[in-house]
Amino acid sequence: MSTATAPTTTADPAAPRALNLSRTTATAARVLRQLRHDPRTIALMLLVPCVMLVLLRYVFDGSPHTFDNIGASLLGIFPLITMFLVTSIATLRERTSGTLERLLAMPLGKGDLIAGYALAFGTIAIIQSVLATALALWALGLDVTGSPWLLLLVALLDALLGTALGLFVSAFAASEFQAVQFMPAVIFPQLLLCGLFTPRSDMHPVLEAISDVLPMSYAVDGMNEVLKHTDMTATFVRDVLIVAGCALLVLGLGAATLRRRTA
């Protein structure tokens, strides 16, 4: 009686791996422990958006209606900018110090690593969005027609988008100074074309077409939908899905920029 021997296979270390929950959460816990010992970074992520909203409210102290019109949009933009800045610099430090290379030499997939970073900074983004939204609505008197929960949802997705963009651009910077230089290249054009200063339909057709493919445009549109409508609209759902999809796409691109190096 013969027995068949199953062929043995050798795992390819370069092959994509399925996400491992324990490795992902361990990575996130390590990043959060590091952030806990950096109070200045925590203050930048949690307090600066709130301070900017307070400043904006009293800039328009004589015109509360103006604050209502642009406050909701900036409630999403401020967290996006701060999360982009902090995430790009923090991840760059890990890259340049060799931490990422050592981690990738372990049984840790690139997806696990990027998801761990996204989970850690995403946790901060949740806290940041809750603080900024609560401050704008209940302390600064931001008047919105729709549900505060929908406003919080868009603010959170904007912060997560900033996190994803920061993780991605850190691969192309050789120093923290260069990481900061990416802000004018990545964030400022979106800020000018997102419809915050003038309706996108009033722009030059070329600029309007460019704005149609920028995720910040849909973040502002989503905030405006909450500002004007009592119920969740189809446009709001579209805007939320586009922002979330862009965040996931950029996270995937960020994982693709990670490289395993061997001696």
108-158 residue pLDDT tens: 667 777 888 888 888 888 888 889 889 988 888 888 888 889 988 998 898
How far, in Å, CA of 224 to CA of 76, rounded?
A: 11
What per-residue confidence (pLDDT) applies to 189?
92
- Residue whose C-alpha is closest to residue 194's, from 171, 147, 164, 161: 161
Instruction: Give the helix/strand (H/E) hosting 258.
Output: none
Mean pLDDT, the chain, whole residue set: 82
Asked whether 145 and 227 are in contact (CB, 8 A), the reply is yes
Q: How far is 1 from 103, CA to CA, in rounded Å? A: 48
Q: Per the structure block, which two tokens stand in for 236?
A: 């709001």
Other Cβ atoms less than 10 A from the Cβ of 202: the count is: 9
What is the three-class DSSP state of 215? helix
**Spatial CA neighbour of 254 closest among 140, 84, 99, 137:** 84
Q: What percentage of the chain reaches a pLDDT higher than 90?
A: 19
10 — pLDDT class (breaks 50, 70, 90): very low
Angle at 177 between CA 173 and CA 179, to 5 degrees: 40
pLDDT at 6 over 50: no
Rounded Cα distance between 259 and 231, Å, is 46
Q: What is the average per-residue pLDDT within 76-104? A: 77
φ, ψ dihedrals at 210, nearest 5°: -65, -40
Q: Which two tokens stand for residue 99?
A: 């931490």
Structure tokens at 38: 């950096």
- Evaluate whether 66 touches 148 at the Cβ level (below 8 Å): no
Of 21-25, 136-140, 200-204, 238-242, least confident by mean pLDDT is: 21-25
Q: What's the CA gap between 195 and 206, in Å, rounded?
A: 14
- pLDDT tens-digit profile of 221-240? 998 898 888 889 999 999 99
Residue 104, pLDDT > 70, answer: no
145, amino acid identity:
T
